[in-house]
């Protein structure tokens, strides 16, 4: 099968291209600009064109007919390559549809990690644990990791571990052998207009799974009572040498999942999880006293601050809210979740996939109900903020920068300067 990936340098599409290449398919693609993922793909002999006006796709299809055109939800309906692919009669599929097809073709058992929070870390934990226990594994993780590529197909593997995202209802393309449900809160209002839409999608996903491991609190939130689920009580968190209560909870799910698969002994499972090195953008240490985290939901902020306070009594938070449409849904949850931070530097909201009819909420409006409002300072990503960060670090304080927008890239640029 000849597969063309549009946006091949993305964190979701790039690893899938590697998986397809490892699985023996012919792979090529395009992106608007080069980058680390494109460089990696080119280095392993995959043809990538910089530019997406359709010329390369047309020439490639004329030379060797393309069987699948793979794209993400971010690609607009009038994108030149997507329009051309349909005109040429190429089957256009989103990445999860292709991945589901590959998993079925290779007769793999899917281990899916779903939930509003903790998917990336939990997926990384499962992959790491299987590696440490000597079990061949294929996988796809939505970030870069230190212990392998973001996506890999191992022909010796029985299992495929996947970070199964609910956005755009992507996770409903799968019928997992085992699903781990991390933590669930209402999210993605652009896909799920109501809370019931969101919870019903999760119930459908659970119904499509052969076996499920989840927390009782999430089962109650989802109003789900599946007979094929291992539902854990809240106090069933294992005592692990991992910082952060949410990390210990996620690791507990992985250990229970490993038990269902009958992989390793109890002691070896614990040892494997306690040596987990973490993933990029999830409480990632960038420098002394400076951490970057992708979290942008109130529950994620609270959990990550709790983790930070296990390491330091003095935590400074720099927060970039993500999506104005999301802020309209979660603004009332900005209350006591910042109590563990001695100072909060609040940035303007990063705008993406917005509803033009919604007014842009200001930092003042978003922080109106914050209980420790005296700790909140409105800021911008500029030299003044960087000086504040440097002063806090020099004073021995832990600086935690959170957001899914531009804040991580800005931090890395400042450190490299």
- pLDDT, mean of each 10-residue run, the chain (417 residues): 96 92 97 92 96 97 98 91 98 95 97 95 97 97 88 96 93 96 92 95 97 96 93 94 94 97 96 93 94 94 96 98 96 97 98 92 98 98 98 98 96 95
Contacts of 405 (CB under 8 A, 6+ apart): 296, 320, 322, 350, 352
DSSP sequence for 174-201: ---SEEEE-B-----TTT-SSHHHHHHH
368 & 349 share domain:
yes
223 is a domain residue:
yes
Q: CA 240, 308, 120, 210 torsion: positive or negative?
A: positive
262 is a domain residue:
yes
Torsion, Cα of 337, 291, 184, 103 (10° steps): 170
102 is a domain residue:
no
Contacts of 314 (CB under 8 A, 6+ apart): 342, 395, 396, 397, 398
290 & 248 share domain:
no
Total of domains in the chain: 3
324 & 369 share domain:
yes
β-pair partners for 315: 398
197 is a domain residue:
yes
Please check whether residue 131 is in contact with residue 52, taking contact to mean a CB–CB distance below 8 angstroms: no
17 & 112 share domain:
no
pLDDT, residue 34, reads: 93
249 & 344 share domain:
no
Q: Which of 35, 65, 93 is the last residue of a domain?
A: 93
pLDDT, residue 280, reads: 85
Q: Which of 274, 293, 311 is the last residue of a domain?
A: 274
- For the full predicted model, state whether its pTM sits above 0.75: yes
Q: How far apart are CA 329 and CA 345, in angstroms?
A: 21
Taking CA atoms, 71 is separated from 81, 141, 147, 151, 387, in Å, by 10, 17, 27, 16, 41
Q: CA 210, 211, 215, 217 torsion: positive or negative?
A: positive
pLDDT, residue 286, reads: 97
279 is a domain residue:
no
pLDDT, residue 53, reads: 97
Give the domain extent around 29: 2-93
pLDDT, residue 87, reads: 97
Q: How far apart are CA 110 and CA 210, in angstroms?
A: 10
270 & 313 share domain:
no
335 & 218 share domain:
no
pLDDT, residue 11, reads: 83
350 & 304 share domain:
yes
Helices assigned H by DSSP within 133-161: none
98 is a domain residue:
no
144: closest CA among 270, 279, 35, 295?
A: 279
335 & 380 share domain:
yes
132 & 269 share domain:
yes
Q: Is residue 284 within a helix (H) or strand (E), and if so which, with residue range?
A: strand 284-287
Two structure tokens written together for 143: 């970030």
pLDDT, residue 101, reads: 96
Domain at 183, CATH number: 3.40.1190.10
101 is a domain residue:
no
Domain at 82, CATH number: 3.40.50.720
402 is a domain residue:
yes
| Three-class secondary structure of residue 93 per DSSP | strand
Q: How far apart are CA 64 and CA 50, in angstroms?
A: 19
Please check whether residue 68 is in contact with residue 91, taking contact to mean a CB–CB distance below 8 angstroms: yes
248: closest CA among 288, 176, 306?
A: 306
């Amino acid at each position: 099968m000849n597969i063309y990936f549009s946006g091949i340098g993305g964190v979701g599409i790039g690893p899938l291209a590697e998986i397809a290449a490892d699985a023996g398919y012919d792979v090529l693609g395009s992106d608007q600009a080069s980058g680390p993922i494109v460089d990696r793909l080119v280095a392993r002999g995959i043809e990538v064109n910089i530019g997406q006006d359709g010329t390369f796709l047309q020439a490639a299809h004329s030379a060797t007919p393309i069987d699948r055109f793979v794209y993400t939800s971010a690609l607009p309906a009038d994108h030149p390559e997507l329009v051309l692919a349909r005109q040429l009669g190429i089957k256009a599929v989103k990445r999860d549809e292709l991945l589901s097809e590959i998993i079925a073709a290779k007769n793999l058992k899917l281990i899916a990690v779903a939930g509003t929070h903790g998917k990336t870390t939990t997926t990384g934990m499962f992959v790491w644990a299987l590696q440490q226990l000597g079990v061949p594994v294929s996988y796809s993780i939505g970030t870069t990791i230190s212990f392998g590529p973001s996506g890999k197909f191992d022909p010796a593997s029985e299992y495929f571990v996947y970070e199964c995202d609910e956005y755009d209802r992507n996770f409903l393309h799968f019928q997992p052998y085992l699903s781990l449900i991390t933590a669930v809160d209402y999210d993605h209002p652009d896909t799920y207009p109501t809370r019931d839409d969101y919870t019903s999608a999760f119930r459908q996903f659970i119904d499509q799974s052969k076996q499920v491991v989840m927390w009782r609190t999430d089962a109650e939130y989802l109003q789900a009572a599946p007979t094929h689920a291992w539902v854990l009580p809240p106090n069933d968190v294992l005592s692990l040498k991992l910082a952060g209560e949410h990390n210990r909870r996620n690791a507990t799910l992985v250990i229970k999942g490993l038990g269902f698969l009958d992989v390793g002994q109890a002691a070896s499972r614990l040892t494997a999880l306690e040596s987990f090195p973490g993933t990029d953008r999830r409480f990632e240490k960038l420098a002394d006293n400076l951490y970057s985290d992708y979290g942008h939901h109130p529950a994620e902020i609270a959990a990550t601050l709790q983790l930070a306070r296990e390491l330091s009594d003095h935590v400074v938070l720099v927060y970039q809210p993500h999506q104005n449409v999301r802020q309209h849904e979660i603004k009332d949850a900005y209350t006591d979740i910042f109590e563990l931070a001695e100072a909060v530097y609040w940035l303007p909201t990063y705008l993406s996939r917005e509803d033009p009819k919604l007014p842009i909420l200001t930092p003042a409006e978003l922080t109106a109900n914050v209980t420790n409002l005296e700790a909140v300072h409105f800021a911008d990503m500029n030299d003044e903020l960087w000086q504040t960060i440097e002063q806090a670090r020099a004073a021995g304080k832990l600086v935690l920068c959170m957001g899914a927008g531009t804040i991580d890239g800005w931090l890395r640029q400042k450190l490299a300067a």
